[in-house]
Structure 1
């Protein structure tokens, strides 16, 4: 572990509110699953939701876009809703760049499509073309719609492309998505500028990709002739019109250099991706490995609002066995808990609370919400553990990591028996009882996660005050920052 801290000292601090995602193809994993992990990096409160399948009346619509408070101001609009939307598991949050809440970065749906959203800044001259007001779905709208509608990762791209082509796109400066199903993944980049520019690249069974930011290099000029790419009809021609690309030069079309900001991925990202590549050649990446990558203190810290890992397994006996592993806040000091598609319940401690929820500091709690607010908030508990641990990571982080890993390993070991019990009930015609099995175990592990967090916090808080001492803030007027250094365990 000391080697990690020595390495981290050489890396630049990460100040951006960003998000990251990691894809590992099925030929490179230990059990043939596709793995998709990552986090959303937003300031506001995060809470877990299991959104049920829903039927919608004919002519129903949804509101999409951004309002005039966004960095690139816009107008909200309505687009048609489909007749039925799929069940999905997601983390919601309440604030980002003036985008109307609640917001989401994806998750996992009942069809086995997983999604992550990752920042991908467009070149400044392109972003400057963004109309005012802008219209069309924003990144969160697109992620939610994919969760509601997509049956494959490829279809997720087709849905996004069709929506952007028809309704436009509301940007915060450029974004990307990672989508995956049990067979493949897709990287999609949505560019700022209001020109409808988007590009997508297929990630196959032998690919590993870590996005931080979403990044795409050279592509064929005739990409539309390939099954490995999709994109807007004007993707090449617009660059030619702007003088950013000369088709007669014989030079390849480098997406990041032409439409992106020209900067590469961080050194920490390259290190983690290299670790995954090495493990792929040594028996394959496991679910345990993916949790470790998402937790790695090189990238995971206070900006990480949560952690997620989707294990997209081959030949599942029933869709209800699909599972999303979720850490309630930055997983560097918070445990992953399994939530199955067959489940329906989230403990109040993992639901919505006032802490860091946009706008709640100006109001009092309503009687209706008071009992929910009275429950302990998992996000706040594990944030406190993070702040103590990351103040002296060489002393405290190894024991926290060891405890969280042991907790998760027990859940991984239990999961096969839980699924076997639930499947037997489903096959016997008792799906409601199977739902009870999933709910009971997820709730039990959630409660035990809270107990573990309280035990670690109590121990480390006491020893921190004895061994490190209270450190008074230098400036009592400044509590938080968006542009300065963030809290990391490195």
Structure 2
């Protein structure tokens, strides 16, 4: 049986700069009745996501790709893709922006999250390769957006990659990527999703070398405390207002997927941690 990945996108144009809401749902093949991976991606805006087909293309050695006021080295061959959503190998990407700590946003770096999405689709045959493309690019050229949660899937695996800048305008970023266990679903909605994660399981978790040390250096995390290191609480600390805005959407998805769990609304209402 051929397993096919689907991405379902709903793009709502809201003519207000005050609206800031995207939601992603990831479904692994073992959790779907069809044996397929799914990403559901809603985005409140139209400026980026027109449905277009881009053919595969070859380039000469030494060519560069212009991005904003800079450029990056072009690869010899790019893969065909549909918009910013899926390529010919059924690698698919969605995202939600969580902002995080504003002092870490290196606005002058040329690579924004939407560039990274498109470049990953151009250059990757699997979700794992897409993570490497994105993280290698920011290591070489820097990262110029707020905190971002990327949903990345192929016909066999679904991952969440979360990334923040280093605030210095220098190259590099701070990031962690976790594979969703087969048979499970996950979701995120403008709040960092990944909490604790294994440091010794590269098959299921990847991360930047500085993911913990950078937080210690900045004073965001104290290793001697009795608290475990949690990426979301360290780099995107929540408050009741943010929980109501973001986690209410995740709760709404989960309670419909598995009503038997009778999930409490206390967390997203800011009533508990």
TM-score (norm 2): 0.78
What secondary structure sits across from 2:251 in the alignment? helix
2:94: which partner in 1?
116
**Mapped partners of 1:46, 1:152: distance in 2:** 22
1:189: which partner in 2?
162
- What is the deviation of 1:278? 4.7
What secondary structure sits across from 1:268 in the alignment? helix
List alignment gaps of at least 5 residues for structure 1: 1-14, 66-75, 91-105, 280-490
List alignment gaps of at least 5 residues for structure 2: 1-17, 261-273
The answer to whether 1:38 aligns with 2:41 is yes
Please give the root-mean-square deviation of Cα atoms over the aligned residues, in Å: 2.3
Is the 8 Å Cα contact of residues 218 and 254 (structure 1) preserved in structure 2? yes
- What is the deviation of 1:39? 2.3
The answer to whether 1:20 aligns with 2:26 is no
- What is the deviation of 1:201? 1.2
Question: In structure 2, which of residues 111, 114, 126 is the aligned counterpart of residue 137 of structure 1?
Answer: 111
**Mapped partners of 1:130, 1:242: distance in 2:** 14
The answer to whether 1:85 aligns with 2:78 is yes
Change in CA separation of 1:236 and 1:208 when aligned onto 2, cut-off 3 Å: same
Larger radius of gyration: 1
**Mapped partners of 1:43, 1:181: distance in 2:** 25
**Mapped partners of 2:48, 2:103: distance in 1:** 30
**Mapped partners of 2:191, 2:161: distance in 1:** 8
Change in CA separation of 1:155 and 1:224 when aligned onto 2, cut-off 3 Å: farther
The size of the alignment, in residue pairs, is 235
1:469: which partner in 2?
none
| Structure having the larger proportion of residues in strand | 2
**Mapped partners of 2:97, 2:249: distance in 1:** 16
Change in CA separation of 1:254 and 1:80 when aligned onto 2, cut-off 3 Å: same
**Mapped partners of 2:48, 2:226: distance in 1:** 49
**Mapped partners of 1:130, 1:52: distance in 2:** 33
The answer to whether 1:257 aligns with 2:239 is no
| Structure having the larger proportion of residues in helix | 1
TM-score (norm 1): 0.45
- Deviation above 6 Å: which 4+ runs of structure 1? none
**Mapped partners of 1:77, 1:47: distance in 2:** 24
**Mapped partners of 2:48, 2:228: distance in 1:** 43
